[in-house]
Amino acid sequence: MTYRFTWNILWSGQTAGWLLQGVITTLEISAIAWLLALALGLLSGALRTAPALPLRWIGAAYVEFFRNVPLLVWMFFWYFAVPPLLPQVLQDWLLEHGAEFWAGVVALGVYHGARFSEVIRSGIQAIPKTQFEAALSTGLTMVQTYRLIIIPVALRLIVPPATNETLNLLKNSSVALTIGVAELTFQTRQIETYTAKAFEALAAGTMIYLVLCLTVALLMSQIERRTAIPGMIARGTGES
Amino acid sequence: MIRARCFSVWVISILLASVGSTSAQPTLEKIDKSGVLIIGTRTGSPPFAYVNKNNEWVGFSIELVEKAVVSALTKKLNKQIRLEKKESAPQTRIPLLTSNAVDLIAETMTDTQSRRDQVDFSLTFFVTGAQFLVKKGTPIKNIQSVAGKRIAAQQGSTNAKIIRERVPTAKLLEFPDQPAAFQALAQGQVQAYTNDGVQLAGLRAKAPRPDEWSVVGEFFSYEPYGMALRKNDSDFRQVVNVGLMDAVSSGLYFQLYDKWFGVKGEVPYPLSAETKRFLEMQVVPK
């Protein structure tokens, strides 16, 4: 009556190939969505700290709109509601080239972009106001100040919370299975369908997500160490 | 490195402990003690198991358990047995069963050989096969004509597996549930949706304009629905089977069939003479 474990189903037959395919799709969708999220986050995070009020409004509107609607709804929105609004030619092209994948990328990108935005805003606001003033007084324009002084420092400050967001994005990519993207969670379900081995498939999925996330976390901490400006940001070693 | 390995061993041992600790108590004893039969069933598979307009959890599979299985249990254990329903999904039904969370899966689960490695099945209580739901007038007529087309399927279904093997050129998109797959069909993201014929008939009957859709193609798979139970639990399985056999021989099964699948039923789906004969042949003498 107890469940019999058959771990070798994970590397026999097509299963290993499916898992690999799932990992690749998960990494692809996450990587592209991450770039989109970072770009949107940087832009709107910077806008939210801009001196002009309308710019701050635009940033705030984007953040509040996109982070306060569930990711699942965004998936359905970009997959079901947006394509019919596009010109026919573009629609046909999309349908033949993985519309579900791109809808997933955009859904993840704009949702996490809104969340990244807040992380970046907090990074910018952690920089003393005197830095802005000092930069402006050297003759830099506002845009130059942001591009050359503020953003580079803010990016270094936000590595730990950005790691958090990155890991969330990676794991949230599993929501894309609701619109038919064959990522890692999808593949573990597929294995369950073909072999009726639910526990083995789930355990494999769990371990793979764990390894992926640990790798990302390790990578980010490397980046944090490599890019630190000596003497500028206190490192967590006790001295300050 | 060693720490990482310790960690993975720890994770796996937790997983093992959570499933390995299921007691080997026979289900009949468990039901006798608690007075409750817990079934795993669906909320969105009309007319087998779904929540209706009055917010009641009903359906053909559920009523079959209520009228046939529970009465057989009551007779066998000589006490009143209460029915409790829990939600199950294709991905959770086997774990629900093996972890003792439910005693019986009664929904739209196809009896297959690979599933029989993990769970046991009752007698077959419904027979259908895979077909296609398409917009009227679509050139798709059968499984051969889906080559190169975009086809939606339900994740975890045997139909997706067959299409992938027999028509590898079809672009298969798998959705976790019926509503999403139907939405994709309605929006033109896919040209056809494949599932068990009876489920497609159900979906068509529930669609805003049923006349716009048609269910096409010969059955390209054989889908015998059975109730799943824990492995090596033959006393309980016997009671379930006796309940089903009594329902067929007393005519109760056909009354219920007519209620749900008759001309005036939720989903009209006539019972073929062949299937009727098959169901009657499953009944062994007393």
Sheet bearing B44-45, strands edge to edge? B44-45, B49-51, B57-58
Model pLDDT for residues A181-232, shown as the tens digit of each residue: 999 999 998 888 788 788 888 899 999 999 999 999 999 999 999 988 877 7
Q: How far is B231 from chain A (nearest CA, A)?
A: 5
**Closest by Cβ to A198, choosing from B12, B94, B233:** B94
Which amino acid is residue A208, in one-letter code? I
More confident residue, B117 or A30: A30
Contact B156, B121 (CB under 8 A): no
Residues in A closer than 8 angstroms to B188, CB to CB, are 84, 95
Q: Give the pLDDT mean for A125-151.
A: 91
**Chain A residues touching residue B119 (CB < 8 angstroms):** 196
Give me the count of residues in chain B. Answer: 286
Beta strands in chain B (DSSP E): 36-41, 44-45, 49-51, 57-58, 82-87, 104-105, 119-128, 130-135, 150-154, 171-175, 192-196, 213-216, 223-230
Q: Exposed e or buried b for every residue in B233-255, given b needs 16+ CB within 10 A?
A: beebbebbbbbbbbbbeeebbbe
Distance from CA of A72 to the nearest CA of B (A): 12
Gyration radius of chain A over CA positions: 22
CB distance B150–A95 less than 8 Å?
A: yes
Burial (CB count <10 Å: 0-12, 13-18, 19+), residue A112? buried
Please report, rounded to a whole number, the percentage of residues in chain A having pLDDT higher than 70.
Answer: 95
Tell me B284's DSSP state.
Answer: P
Chain B residue with Cα closest to A85: B187
For residue A200, the distance in angstroms to the closest alpha carbon of chain B comes to 10
Q: Which residues contact B280 (CB under 8 A, 6 or more apart)?
A: B248, B249
* pLDDT at residue B20 in the model: 46
Which residues of chain A make contact with B114, given a CB cutoff of 8 A?
194-196
Q: Mutating which of B118, B119, B149, B154 best tests the A interface, going by the most A Cβ atoms within 10 A?
A: B118
Report the residue from A4, A179, A189 with minimal CB separation from B91: A189
pLDDT of residue A239: 40
Peptide bond before B47: cis, by omega within 30 degrees of 0? yes
Q: What is the dihedral of CA A218, A224, A230, A233, to 10 degrees?
A: -120
Neighbours of B27 (CB within 10 A): 21
At residue A74, does pLDDT exceed 80?
A: yes
- Tell me what pLDDT residue B224 has: 95
Would you state the pLDDT for residue B21? 45
Residue of chain B whose alpha carbon sits nearest to that of A81:
B187
Instruction: Using CB atoms, pick whichever of B119, B176, B189 lies closest to residue A99.
Output: B189
User: What pLDDT is attached to residue A234?
Assistant: 52
Contacts of A230 (CB under 8 A, 6+ apart): none
Q: What is the pLDDT along chain B (286 residues), one digit of tens a residue?
A: 344 444 554 555 455 545 544 456 899 999 999 999 999 999 888 899 998 889 999 999 999 999 999 999 999 999 999 999 999 988 789 889 988 999 999 999 999 998 998 899 999 999 999 999 999 988 898 888 899 999 999 887 778 888 988 999 999 999 988 888 999 999 889 999 999 999 899 888 888 888 999 999 989 999 999 999 999 999 999 999 999 999 999 999 999 999 999 988 888 888 989 999 999 999 999 8
Q: Determine, for residues B155 and A95 on separate chains, whether the beta-carbon distance falls below 8 Å.
A: no
Mean pLDDT of A58-68: 95
With beta carbons less than 8 A apart as the criterion, state whether B148 and B169 touch.
Answer: yes
Residue B189 to residue A83, Cβ atoms within 8 A: yes
Q: What pLDDT is stored for residue A177 in this prediction?
A: 93
Q: Give the span between the Cα atoms of B180 and A80, in whole angstroms.
A: 9
Q: Are B102 and B38 in contact (CB under 8 A)?
A: yes
Query: What is the number of CB-based contacts under 8 A between chain A and chain B?
Result: 96
Q: Are B200 and B193 in contact (CB under 8 A)?
A: yes
* Contact of B227 with B104, CB cutoff 8 Å: yes
Alpha carbons A198 and A202: distance in angstroms, whole number:
6
DSSP A184-200: HHHHHHHHHHHH--HHH
The per-residue pLDDT of chain A, averaged, comes to 90
Do residues A39 and A113 touch, judged by C-beta distance below 8 A?
yes
Phi, psi of A29 (to 5 degrees): -65, -40
Q: Which amino acid is at A206?
A: T
Q: pLDDT class for A111, splitting at 50, 70, 90?
A: very high
pLDDT reported for residue A189: 87
CB contact (8 A) between residue A1 and residue B115 = no
Q: Which residues of B touch A (CB under 8 A)?
A: 8, 11-12, 15-16, 19-20, 22, 24, 26, 90-92, 94-95, 98, 112, 114-115, 117-119, 150, 152, 155-158, 160-161, 173-176, 180, 183-184, 187-189, 230-233
Q: Residue A101: closest CA among chain B residues belongs to which residue?
A: B173
Amino acid letter at B58? V
Cα of B102 to nearest chain A Cα, Å? 14
Strand ordering across the sheet containing B213-216: B171-175, B150-154, B192-196, B130-135, B213-216
CB spacing of A193 vs B15 below 8 angstroms: no
CB contact under 8 Å between A194 and B180, yes or no, is no
Does B91 contact A186 at a Cβ distance shorter than 8 Å? no
Interface test with A, best of B102, B155, B237 (most A CBs within 10 A): B155
Chain A residues with CB-CB distance to B118 below 8 A: 3-4, 196-197
Instruction: Quote the distance between the C-alpha of residue B116 and its chain's center.
Output: 14
